Structure 1
Amino acid sequence: MEEERLVQGQVEIFRQLFAFADSMALKCAVELGIADIIHRNGRPMTLHQIAAELPATSPDIGCLLRIMRLLVRKHMFVQHDPPPGDGINHQPEFGLTPASRWLVKDGEHSLAPMVLMQNHPSALAPWHCFSKCVQEGGVAFKKAHGLDIWEYGAVNPEFNQLFNSAMACTNKIIMKAVIAKYEHGFNRLSSLVDVGGGTGAAIAEIVKACPHLKGINLDLPHVVATAPEYQGITHVGGDMFVEIPKADAVFMKWILHDWSDDHCIKILKQCRKAIPHDNGKVVIVDAVLQSNVTEDAWEDTRMAFDVTMIAHASGGKERTEVEWRKLLKDGGFNHYNIISLPSLPSLIEVFPN
């Protein structure tokens, strides 16, 4: 029994050791547009048919086979083998799965930009600084690049565009869940400011669903400089630590998890100043970690996001409900409701009184 346990332990170490291979193979599939090729074809395809549509004059079929073999193992694609005795010229065909449908770049909802951003060399470099963060403290991204992620984006337009695209694609998915679950909460407002709203996609979705709303999108000047115009949305370049435009309510999606508790308290106090004292509120969309062992299908990813905050954020983290309660109280908010979403984050409705 002891020998079996040791062998199983070895299996687990090697599984974790090479977990990065899954992400790299996934990134390769997105870069090559394999899901797009199969989607356009409308049916499963052989490797040679896929290779014929790649942007290459002489693709390596053997290399493609090995990458697809791993992705089939990980349920990213499905392999259909020819029936036995069907002849040597019949080749296996590869089709889409529910997972790879999220990799179609032109799909209504695509996670392809998120795959590319999280696996970009600039985004991966800070992960190599974790041991330094444990030993010395500090910000991993800054240790890797000399700048935090926001400063880095300001001087690296390519990465800034990649980051914005990744946020926009996840925004579409999460906002669909938010509006479906919380449209009634927005309908009672006349104005809403999205703090750290990027290029305005989230607030645009809310105003589209609730056209009576006056929408304000606040983000750093270099971010809103690239923002498209949206009906009913005013873009404001500014700093959420200094001032937040006044509105009936503040909306923040995946903002507070980027920051330390002290930074979050400063942001929340600015939110408190921006909303009416009698009936204002803040709507937060962020993960709520489970305090106990749970079978929630999203919990492993929430934990991974928490570690991602070490890599990419300036002291940010995912928080349990207990941690949220203390943070909100310290920021001037005494009451809250947590509303579950069919998505990675939850919705936290926060009131001052």
Structure 2
Amino acid sequence: MAAEAQQLTVPTEAELLQGQADLWRHSLYYMTSMAFQCAVKLGVPTTIHSLGGAASLPDLVAALSLPPAKLPYLRRIMRLLATSGVFAADNAADVVTYRLTPVSWLLLDSVAVDGHPNQTPIVLAATSRHCIEAFPQIKCTVLDLPKVIDNVPADGVVNYVAGDMFKSVPPAQAVLIKLVLHHWSDEDCVKILAQCKKAIPSREEGGKVIVIDIVVDSSSGPTHEAELLMDVAMMVMTNGRQRDETDWSEIFTKAGFSDYKLLKKLGARGVFDVYP
């Protein structure tokens, strides 16, 4: 007997209305990014902090030295960002007061929150078409396979070099490897890092390799299960694996490096400075 065709369930009116709201939300999310960039450039998080952690719109306009005519526009931006969780909003006596949230705490100038550095550069870079142009003193070279580099148009900002990281790495003050090594076996990682070591000057001259990759926690933490899932994913899809700090230390040593520092653990990711 042929299996009966499964009857489709038509969404309810309420579900369709929610779907319409989600459709518009996903289509217009870029407006949140633009508003986010505007608030960061104005210095709204730091201003709220300097005003004691809470500020009304008139307070912000005055502290930011904005023309009073800009208040309605600021209101609309802050209303969106409060809805998105960048700020919190309290409405008492018909006066809206804005407060910091964990997101905006990370955007305070000259204020380190529990060791977390200011994240403003990330926001500005992620919301800018010209994020590399913001740091003209930095000369950036990107190494990739010829079939990739050949399709990248020159922009005068980044120098693209075709090559193979197993054979050579262009000379640099520092080499950055982000979420690359976990795709490779321990033996291949040693080969890659050995080429990186050849490309940089001595530690006394400021040479280092910056490795950003997954660091598996030895104890159960909020990201521990996710890290183990990532490890199995590497086992299925690549020759690599996710490593704990001891594994990374052994690889750095085998590649000929003298020392390293685990600077920061950002969720599942760790940031290492590795020294020749």
Q: TM-score range by the shorter chain?
A: 0.5 to 0.7
CA distance in structure 2 between the aligned counterparts of 1:348 and 1:323, rounded to whole angstroms: 13
Is 1:292 equivalent to 2:219 in the alignment?
Answer: yes
CA distance in structure 1 between the aligned counterparts of 2:226 and 2:131, rounded to whole angstroms: 26
**Contact 1:179 1:209 survives alignment (8 Å):** no
Greater radius of gyration (CA): 2
**Contact 1:248 1:275 survives alignment (8 Å):** yes
Is 1:308 equivalent to 2:230 in the alignment?
Answer: no
Match of 1:235 in 2: 160
What percentage of residue pairs aligned between the two structures are identical?
31
Counterpart of 1:291 in structure 2: which amino acid? S
After TM superposition, give the deviation of residue 93 of structure 1 in Å. 2.5
CA distance in structure 2 between the aligned counterparts of 1:221 and 1:327, rounded to whole angstroms: 27
DSSP-derived class of the 2:168 partner: coil
Match of 1:246 in 2: 171
DSSP-derived class of the 1:93 partner: helix
DSSP-derived class of the 1:211 partner: coil
Question: Which of these residues, 116, 135, 140, is aligned with residue 210 of structure 1?
Answer: 135
1:278-298, Cα deviation, whole Å (9 max, x unpaired): 42001111111001111x2x3
Q: TM (normalized to structure 1)? A: 0.43
Which structure's residues are more often strand, by fraction? Answer: 2
CA distance in structure 2 between the aligned counterparts of 1:243 and 1:272, rounded to whole angstroms: 10
CA distance in structure 1 between the aligned counterparts of 2:136 and 2:13, rounded to whole angstroms: 47
**Contact 1:207 1:214 survives alignment (8 Å):** no
Question: Which of these residues, 125, 144, 147, is aligned with residue 222 of structure 1?
Answer: 147
Instruction: Call closer, same or farther: CA 1:309–1:224 in 2, change over 3 Å.
Output: same
Instruction: Call closer, same or farther: CA 1:309–1:322 in 2, change over 3 Å.
Output: same
Match of 1:333 in 2: 257
Question: Which of these residues, 305, 316, 320, is aligned with residue 244 of structure 2?
Answer: 320
Counterpart of 2:246 in structure 1: which amino acid? V
Note the 1:39-58 alignment, pairs <5 A: none
Counterpart of 1:255 in structure 2: which amino acid? V
Note the 1:31-110 alignment, pairs <5 A: 62=8, 65=11, 81=14, 93-94=18-19, 95-96=21-22, 107=30
C-alpha RMSD over aligned residues: 3.9
1:92-137, Cα deviation, whole Å (9 max, x unpaired): 524449xx97x76974899xxxxxxxxxxxxxxxxxxxxxxxxxxx
**Contact 2:215 2:268 survives alignment (8 Å):** no
After TM superposition, give the deviation of residue 349 of structure 1 in Å. 1.4
**Contact 1:339 1:347 survives alignment (8 Å):** yes
After TM superposition, give the deviation of residue 270 of structure 1 in Å. 0.3
**Contact 1:179 1:206 survives alignment (8 Å):** no
Instruction: Call closer, same or farther: CA 1:227–1:283 in 2, change over 3 Å.
Output: same
DSSP-derived class of the 1:291 partner: coil
**Contact 1:217 1:234 survives alignment (8 Å):** yes
Is 1:280 equivalent to 2:204 in the alignment?
Answer: no
**Contact 1:249 1:275 survives alignment (8 Å):** yes
Note the 1:7-46 alignment, pairs <5 A: none
CA distance in structure 1 between the aligned counterparts of 2:260 and 2:120, rounded to whole angstroms: 15
After TM superposition, give the deviation of residue 182 of structure 1 in Å. 11
Q: TM (normalized to structure 2)? A: 0.54
Instruction: Call closer, same or farther: CA 1:308–1:221 in 2, change over 3 Å.
Output: same
Aligned length: 180
CA distance in structure 1 between the aligned counterparts of 2:212 and 2:265, rounded to whole angstroms: 10
CA distance in structure 2 between the aligned counterparts of 1:286 and 1:205, rounded to whole angstroms: 25
Instruction: Call closer, same or farther: CA 1:81–1:256 in 2, change over 3 Å.
Output: same
Show structure 1 runs of 5+ residues with no match.
1-60, 66-78, 83-90, 111-176, 184-200
Which structure's residues are more often helix, by fraction? Answer: 1
